[in-house]
Structure 1
């Protein structure tokens, strides 16, 4: 009887802790979003979104953050594309050409797990060293190199998890029909296509929101990004520089910039959830 009561008490405590955790996380989310809306919405305007910084923008004068918005989109799009082109063959090789459970497969997955957890500032330092060696100055290209290195582990590990959900029967059927490994890979890519787009969106969301990695490599410019070898503004850096100002209006613009960045990431998250639901339906 005591053991039954003890288990029931443990279950109630566990349930209470999970509820408290959910409340804390949800409350934190609403607090963050609410703070950004409260402090940034009064300063958000069409001029701020559609114009580049004018003279004295960072001391409260006219202008906007169009340069940072476009810079972030260019940087995130190019680096995500490169990470996808590099990450997909790696994930397929580890799951099709490498024997499952082999030391190479285990070592590679452990390596990408480690790379996944390395802070972005470390990637920035590595990319900066590469740029110095190649003679590349702080620019959009430098940022692309950094964020590509940062997002490759995200793409590889996400695809690795997706491929592991593919039924073994599908592989056996393709093998029984005499399909080559490359043809099997094409079938697998088609099967996980919705999940593949989810992985790409997750990498894009990480790329567009990173600040530490690009702090050393992209530089900053008030001009619209035109060439890949020129310094480029990004939204995270624009927020950082504006928050560093003692002028209340400039700080308010920083929260408005954060609201723009949050809205972009929210759209990405919603799209990833829609694609994930399609992936589940596809499995069923």
Structure 2
């Protein structure tokens, strides 16, 4: 067998492996969505998403998951806002105020890569320790602390990757015009503005879908969230508790809750793709 034939054979094998991988991943996705639709759609109703749990909701009686929907939105919005306010300045500092190839910058970025991959339950344990130290009980505030810690690395690394797409000549020209580092940072933020919204949506999607991190810190309540120091329900926790019930009606509602959460994530993904396409056009 000649060298060319061996290369063609390897290419054919690689192509088959990639096709099989794509089919398996796509099939798994459709299987998950199909299962949620099949088991959850019959139990999904306007009453379910517009009412709070009534007495006996978790044994199959009337009520809904409005408390969990609002709790998830409040938790994800507040934590994403805090993570953005903290994460963007960190990314700007590492790329503008510090030499990007310096030892300090590389160590910081490596640290955020490690933090990015740490399981959310670890953040929950750390946040729980902070809550005990500060005297904070399980509440919306505790969940915000947890998810903020979880999403800061997402914002920092996403913004950092966006800043790498900016031509080096653009930075040099900006500095040569006598601008300060802060003025340069503002110009760079305007350049990657669509990408910043993408980073925010990615953090929001991670925040609203997390369950392990908030299991120890938010508590759970059938009431609508009103104050930061009150226990708050979230959609992932509502799904977890409903699936734990032996009542088929409640288990069906769990899949309906999963369907609501999936729809929210789908909207976030669509918005992310739209903003990413705008970022590419902006670069062109």
Residue 7 of structure 1 and its aligned partner are, at CA, apart by: 0.2
In structure 1, distance between residues paired with 2:144 and 2:251: 28
State the match for 1:153 in structure 2.
Answer: 153
CA deviation string 1:23-82 (max 9, x = no partner): 011101100001000000000000000000000000000000000000000000000000
In structure 1, distance between residues paired with 2:186 and 2:30: 42
Q: After the TM superposition, which residues 181-196 of structure 1 pair with which residues of structure 2 at under 5 Å, given as runs? A: 181-196=181-196
In structure 1, distance between residues paired with 2:20 and 2:182: 49
> Please, what TM-score do these two structures have when normalized by structure 1?
0.99
Residue 101 of structure 1 and its aligned partner are, at CA, apart by: 1.1
User: What runs of 5+ residues in structure 1 fail to find an aligned partner?
Assistant: none
State the match for 2:275 in structure 1.
Answer: 275
Residue aligned with 2:68, SS: helix
In structure 2, distance between residues paired with 1:215 and 1:243: 15
Task: Indicate the RMSD between aligned Cα atoms, in angstroms.
Answer: 0.5
2:172 corresponds to 1:175: no
Residue aligned with 1:257, SS: helix
In structure 1, distance between residues paired with 2:83 and 2:106: 21
Q: Structure 1: which 4+ aligned runs deviate by more than 3 Å?
A: none
User: What runs of 5+ residues in structure 2 fail to find an aligned partner?
Assistant: none
2:54 corresponds to 1:54: yes
> Please, what TM-score do these two structures have when normalized by structure 2?
0.99
Residue 97 of structure 1 and its aligned partner are, at CA, apart by: 0.7
Residue aligned with 1:222, SS: coil
Residue aligned with 1:28, SS: helix
State the match for 1:243 in structure 2.
Answer: 243
State the match for 1:218 in structure 2.
Answer: 218
Q: After the TM superposition, which residues 255-274 of structure 1 pair with which residues of structure 2 at under 5 Å, given as runs? A: 255-274=255-274
Residue 145 of structure 1 and its aligned partner are, at CA, apart by: 0.1
CA deviation string 1:85-111 (max 9, x = no partner): 000000000001111211101100100
State the match for 2:39 in structure 1.
Answer: 39
Residue 228 of structure 1 and its aligned partner are, at CA, apart by: 0.5
Q: Identify the range of structure 1 (205-214 vs 98-107) with the bigger mean alpha-carbon deviation.
A: 98-107
CA deviation string 1:208-261 (max 9, x = no partner): 000000000000000000111000000000000000001111000000000000
State the match for 2:128 in structure 1.
Answer: 128
Residue 176 of structure 1 and its aligned partner are, at CA, apart by: 1.6
Residue aligned with 1:182, SS: helix
Q: How many residues of Structure 1 are paired with residues of Structure 2 in the alignment?
A: 284
